Amino acid sequence: MTVTDNVGTAVLYEVAGAGVAVITLNRPERLNSWGADISRGVYTCFDRAEDDPDVRAIVLTGTGRGFCAGAYLGDMAGLGESISGDTDVSTIVGERHPHFLTTVAKPVIAAINGACVGIGLTHALMCDVRFAAAGAKFATAFPRRGLIAEYGISWILPRLAGWGAAADLLLSGRTFPAEEAAGLGLVKEVVAPDDLLPTAIAYAEDLARNCSPASMAVIKAQLYGDAGDPVTAVSARAETLMHESMKRPDLIEGITAFFEKRPPNFPPLKGA
């Protein structure tokens, strides 16, 4: 399936392998910089993946040399005249802030194929797991453009990389390579460019084949929902969720499959 709009084919959608939807930003001529065309396509594709019970994990990537090189400001000959205090940035960002990715019930894996900057970095960090191609470049860039830490990156970056590293990356806006991103814990693994998408899809396929969709949905909600609460509240809430999980057929299937030494056959996520 391909998502199209009045400016062309901005985002591609396909189901690859066993239960994995691949969503691809497809504006390589501008390094997949984020604009209204891409935002509309991304929302449509994620909604489709959420609604499809056969899709159990989602991979987000880009075509060409960029994952997403920041916001697309168009062919502006005079940026000073085009942008003012009255500029409606929502026309660029779209109807959903990047943190919507944390609310997607299915795991989202980013395959960062190239430039990952600004709002592109924010979206990548809001994915659950990230792989990067060797040679990919990252940057917050905000202070170098006269901007601030946007749309939740000041919330997610310290949680992933630690306070000191987040302060460095946000205040300097410097460019850093995929290898440094991995060292900071921002990406799980750096692989050769040709291996990036197969590696990300294989990881997603393992989740799709062997992990309970219901369990993953609850765990993901715990990860992001528990982040700001004290451990006593988190533990009490987890106890309730554990009792609920014991009532689902997933538990019996998971234990039976373990003892029978076979892959589990978990039911699809309810509502998908």
DSSP-assigned states of every residue in 173-206 = --EEEHHHHHHTTSSSEEE-GGGHHHHHHHHHHH
Query: Residue 269: inside a domain, yes or no?
Result: no
pLDDT of res. 197: 97
**Can you tell me which residue has the tokens 């390579």?**
177
Query: Residue 193: inside a domain, yes or no?
Result: yes
Is there a single domain that holds both residue 216 and residue 203?
no
Query: Residue 266: inside a domain, yes or no?
Result: no
What is the block-wise mean pLDDT of the chain (272 residues), using blocks of 10 residues?
53 91 96 93 95 96 96 56 51 82 96 96 96 96 85 92 95 96 97 97 96 93 82 73 77 79 83 64
Is there a single domain that holds both residue 56 and residue 117?
yes
Is there a single domain that holds both residue 122 and residue 180?
yes
Query: Residue 97: inside a domain, yes or no?
Result: yes
Q: How many domains does the chain have?
A: 2
Domain of residue 23: give its range: 4-75+85-208
- Alpha-carbon distance 84 to 122, whole Å? 23
First to last CA, the chain: 18
Is there a single domain that holds both residue 63 and residue 146?
yes
Q: pTM above 0.75?
A: yes
Query: Residue 268: inside a domain, yes or no?
Result: no
pLDDT of res. 157: 94
Query: Residue 272: inside a domain, yes or no?
Result: no
CA proximity to 265, closest of 20, 255, 254: 254
- Alpha-carbon distance 111 to 133, whole Å? 8
pLDDT of res. 103: 94
- Give the chain's length: 272
CATH code where residue 37 lies: 3.90.226.10
Is there a single domain that holds both residue 184 and residue 232?
no
